Each structure stands twice: as C-alpha cells, then as structure tokens.
Chain A
C-alpha cells in the first residue's frame, strides 16, 4: 500500500447537506459511483488472500476511531466519505487504501488533525525511511 502525499491531498469542502436537485446532465439512470449492483462486471474473484500488515493497521485504526468511547466519526460518515471520494481516486485505490484516505479526510473534517500536519508527518517519514 502506497499513497503519495499528492494523492492524499484532495480534501475539499464537503456538502453541508443534500443538494435537493438532480445533478447537471441527469438522464434518469444516474447512480453514485459505488452503487454498482446489477451493472456489467467481470467474474467475482473468490480466492482467499492474506491481509497485509498495513491493511491490518488501517483496520485497527478505523476500529479505534469509531469505538464508542471515542466516536470520532460513525460508520455512516465513513461510508459517505468513501462514496464522495473523487472518482479517479476511488477507482485507483483498493479497499483499505480507500479506508485510509477516508480516515484522513474525516480527521481533517473533524478538526482532529490539519492537512498540513498530515503532510508534514508524511514528508518526515519519507525523509527518514525513504
């Protein structure tokens, strides 16, 4: 799993509410990008595979941030944030990479961290560990 500083730095103001208007160019069949049920797709890959250490860390981080005694954000906010990732980023990253990008966005949205703090920490780690 590898996310460049540039890719993770896409935070933008989130909609404060639903916009109760159809999107421009609405043609009656538009769906959000994650709403894939029934669309043409390839075969489902059924092979099991091990999770990586990085994936397990992301999973643990998500659990800790949503734990009842912290509740920095809830599962619905997490889903909303994943679903609102820019399409090109959503499609380029796998499951846990999307989780990590979502954690970043929500921590900034909630005021826990700033974008600058995340970027400077990533830069420091890249400097120290290549």
Chain B
C-alpha cells in the first residue's frame, strides 16, 4: 500500500506528455483533463493499476486513487454554465503532478 503523495486540497496538474497520447494501450485518464489543473478532494485508497492489469499483470504495488475536482470553466473554452460548476474524476496518482501549492502536501518518497 503506497503512501498517498497528495493531501486533500492539494493543487495538481494532470500529466500532458506526448507519450500519454498513445493510441494503443489502456489509459484511464481522458484527454479533456490532460494538462488541466484541479485539486484533490479525497483519496479513495490504493488499488491495483488497471493500466497494468489490462496487460495481464497484477498491477501491484497498488497506487493511490484520488477524486480530483476541476472547474468546468477551465476545461471547456466558452463554457456557458454557472461559473461555480465543477467536474470530479477519479485519477490515479501517476497521472498527477504537484503544483506545489497544496496545504500539508508531503514530498514524494525517494
């Protein structure tokens, strides 16, 4: 069981790298949040990595899974809804980068 890297309230950015846009492989993070910033609402605990289990591996060690919340106005240019609207997604830790602004966030272990 991995120790969660991010505390509740931590600002995070979803990874947005060329290799994350492979069209093969199994990725659990949708394109529309990649590169976007949100904040950790809760940590669900740690779970076997589905992106590894998709290839018959055991997906261990288990990875922390977070509920990450985004502002809709950040995700969609010209969003026509209420400014306070938000969207929450379950995202595994390896998809998240720290924005270094979160209260109580712990440094990544060596």
Contacts and interface: CB of A to CB of B under 8 A. Distances in A.
Interface of A: 15-23, 26, 28-33, 35, 37-38, 74-77, 79-80, 83-84
Interface stretch (B7-15, B24-32, B60-68, B92-100): B24-32
A21 B55 contact: no
Nearest to B16: A28
A112 to B, nearest CB: 14
Interface residues of B, number: 21
Contact of A18 (B25, B30, B56): B25
B31 A77 contact: no
A26 B21 contact: yes
Interface of B: 18-19, 21-27, 30-32, 50-51, 53-56, 59, 75-76
Nearest to A82: B26
Contacts of B23: 23, 30-33
A79 B54 contact: yes
A19 B21 contact: no
Nearest to B32: A38
Given A38-B75, A76-B53, A76-B54, A31 B21 contact: yes
B30 A37 contact: yes
B26 A80 contact: yes
A15 B50 CA distance: 16
A30 B18 CA distance: 9
Contacts of B50: 75-76, 79
B25 A26 contact: no
